[in-house]
Structure 1
Amino acid sequence: MERRKWEDLPEDCLVNVFRRVGMETLLLDVPFVCKSWYKATLNPLCWERLDFYDIMFVPKDDCFYRFYDVDGVRMVHKLMDEYRIKEFSAGSMIKFLVNRSNGKCTVLNLPADGCKEEVFKFVIDKCPALRCLSFSCDLFKTDYLPIIQELIEKCKYLEFLTILDFKVSNLKEIVAKIGLNCKNLWGFAAPFAYIGEEEAAAIVTNLPHISYLILKHSRIDRKYLVEILHGCKRLFHLDVSNCSGFKIDDKLLKLASHIHTFKYEGVID
């Protein structure tokens, strides 16, 4: 009995496999095996998940001339050779892959380095089906509140939003906008935030049905944490690890006893 070859598999089967491999493998390995594999990688469904956290961009002047994974293995010269790219930049790479997704991208994790404000606006316009988004406010040179509010208005299907910033401001306005536009949101992460009276009230008022809330490395006074615990009754996962402003005691643990996963390691009073 003759054995079937991988390259002879129907394209939809190949796509179903390739959409599960890492982004670098999909870029640098799979397309160069054979013509049928290359054709399958052009299917937008292969690019539903764009995770740039696994790629670090190393700057040289205004160009990003190489990238590598977290183990320092990959070099971008292979990418440039294979795709005949003369000048490589993080922004052009992000745009290229977003265009490959053709509006099918549902998960997008943008890098803190190499992604400019203009690129951010581009990808948001091109990814109307986003379910999960993670980005850093460090990529904005101007006031980022209007940009994020515009993002939230466009991404009505968001289910999980992560905003990375060591000094995130305007959190109450951002959360209020989320409450109005993102009815399917079940997870929100804002590490390194300041959670004061207004911020806690905004979370309770606008995200009362939130399941996952990640506030690690934030500043939260005890009374505002208590307010969140009282107000967000559907919390399944709460992460306040390495936060400051309160200490863990039996009363707080009892109040959080309904939460399946309550992370509080490294809390500093």
Structure 2
Amino acid sequence: MEERKWEDLEFDCLVSVLGRVGMESLLLDVPFVCKSWYKASLNPSCWKRLEWNFTLLDKFKEKYKIHKCSVDAFTKFVVGRSNGNCTGLILPNGCTEEVLNYIADECPALTYLSLPSRTLSCEPSIVPSLIGKWEHLENLGLGSCRNLFNILIQISLACNKFSGLRISFANIQEEEASAIVALLPDIKYLVLRGAWINFKNLEIILQGCINLVHLDVSNCLGFDPDEKVLELASHIKTFKCEGSMLEDYDDDDYAIDHDDLVYDYISS
């Protein structure tokens, strides 16, 4: 019996396989296997999920002997490969307002998106103005909670399937907690790991977000994960509060390195 070779695999099947290997392999490995793999790797269906860490750009430049390539240029390059098919995107630090506008126009099918802290710190007003272009958005990761209220308003108006929100190291006061409850009544997944949130504001979320199936408030400051908290959260299938504590702290003395954050996509 003649042995079958990977390069002889039917084209659509090969595309389906390569669509699961990840962006790093698509860029650095697959194109150099054979001509059929290279051709298949160019299919937009392989580029639906775009996520990478801070080392990939350096590896890309070294592999292709490119001396200069900005984060913006690299992001546009990989997003362009998807030809509008991208459904999941995790952006690295260093992206500009120009790139966010580009993504809004080129990725109308996004269902999950993770934005780095530096983007929101530099351009906090740009995100709410673009949310309306992602009507299929279901999950959003934010590197900070700046302008959160306006972001939530736009989500409630444009994204009728929205179910998951992650805010890295947020400061959840009464306004933010109430906005989550009022503007995201159907939210199922909420990650506030490392947040500043006291018991009162946690209680607002626990009592108001009745459809939650996953809530992560681990390593937070402002509340003790005691029996009362556990009782309030008893209706939530997955509730994480490990490492949280009631502690007095000074906002000016509490520093967080947002560069170390990575958005974990929560699938339903």
Bin the TM-score by the shorter chain.
0.7 to 0.9
Q: Indicate if the aligned counterparts of 2:120 and 2:146 stay in contact, CA closer than 8 A.
A: no
| Structure 1 match to 2:89 | 108
From 118, 143, 155, give the equivalent of 2:134.
155
> 1:75–1:156: structure 2 CA closer, same or farther, 3 Å change rule?
closer
- 1:50 and 2:29 matched: no
Q: Which amino acid aligns with 1:99?
A: G
Q: Which amino acid aligns with 2:208?
A: G
- 1:205 and 2:185 matched: no
* CA deviation after TM superposition for structure 1 residue 86, in Å: 5.0
Measured against aligned partners, the alpha-carbon deviations of 1:183-215 in whole angstroms (never above 9, x if no partner) come to 111100112111111111111111111110011
CA distance in structure 1 between the partners assigned to 2:77 and 2:3 by the alignment: 37
CA distance in structure 2 between the partners assigned to 1:3 and 1:141 by the alignment: 56
Q: Indicate if the aligned counterparts of 1:117 and 1:141 stay in contact, CA closer than 8 A.
A: no
* Aligned-partner SS, 1:265: coil
* CA deviation after TM superposition for structure 1 residue 117, in Å: 2.2
Q: Indicate if the aligned counterparts of 1:105 and 1:130 stay in contact, CA closer than 8 A.
A: yes
* CA deviation after TM superposition for structure 1 residue 12, in Å: 0.3
From 222, 231, 234, give the equivalent of 2:208.
231
* Number of positions where the alignment pairs a residue of Structure 1 with one of Structure 2: 246
From 80, 91, 98, give the equivalent of 2:72.
91
* Aligned-partner SS, 2:115: strand
| Structure 2 match to 1:77 | 62
- 1:261 and 2:232 matched: no
Q: Indicate if the aligned counterparts of 1:240 and 1:264 stay in contact, CA closer than 8 A.
A: yes
Which ranges of structure 2 fall in alignment gaps of 5 or more residues? 247-268
Matches within 5 A, 1:100-139: 100-112=81-93, 114-139=94-119
CA distance in structure 2 between the partners assigned to 1:140 and 1:228 by the alignment: 24
CA distance in structure 2 between the partners assigned to 1:2 and 1:122 by the alignment: 49
* CA deviation after TM superposition for structure 1 residue 56, in Å: 2.6
Q: Indicate if the aligned counterparts of 1:241 and 1:267 stay in contact, CA closer than 8 A.
A: yes
Measured against aligned partners, the alpha-carbon deviations of 1:60-113 in whole angstroms (never above 9, x if no partner) come to xxxxxx62xxxxxx46311x23xxx4522222111111110000000000012x
CA distance in structure 2 between the partners assigned to 1:37 and 1:260 by the alignment: 43
Q: TM-score, normalised by structure 1?
A: 0.86
* CA deviation after TM superposition for structure 1 residue 140, in Å: 4.9
- If each structure's strand is expressed as a fraction of its own residues, which one has the higher value? 1
Q: TM-score, normalised by structure 2?
A: 0.87
Q: Which amino acid aligns with 2:18?
A: F
Which ranges of structure 1 fall in alignment gaps of 5 or more residues? 58-65, 68-73
CA distance in structure 1 between the partners assigned to 2:226 and 2:2 by the alignment: 68
* Aligned-partner SS, 1:219: coil
| Structure 2 match to 1:71 | none
CA distance in structure 1 between the partners assigned to 2:198 and 2:185 by the alignment: 20
* Aligned-partner SS, 1:17: helix
| Structure 1 match to 2:195 | 218
* Aligned-partner SS, 1:235: coil
| Structure 2 match to 1:250 | 227
Q: Indicate if the aligned counterparts of 1:134 and 1:162 stay in contact, CA closer than 8 A.
A: yes
Q: Where does structure 1 differ by over 3 angstroms across 4 or more consecutive aligned residues?
A: 140-143
CA distance in structure 2 between the partners assigned to 1:47 and 1:99 by the alignment: 9
Q: Which amino acid aligns with 1:215?
A: L
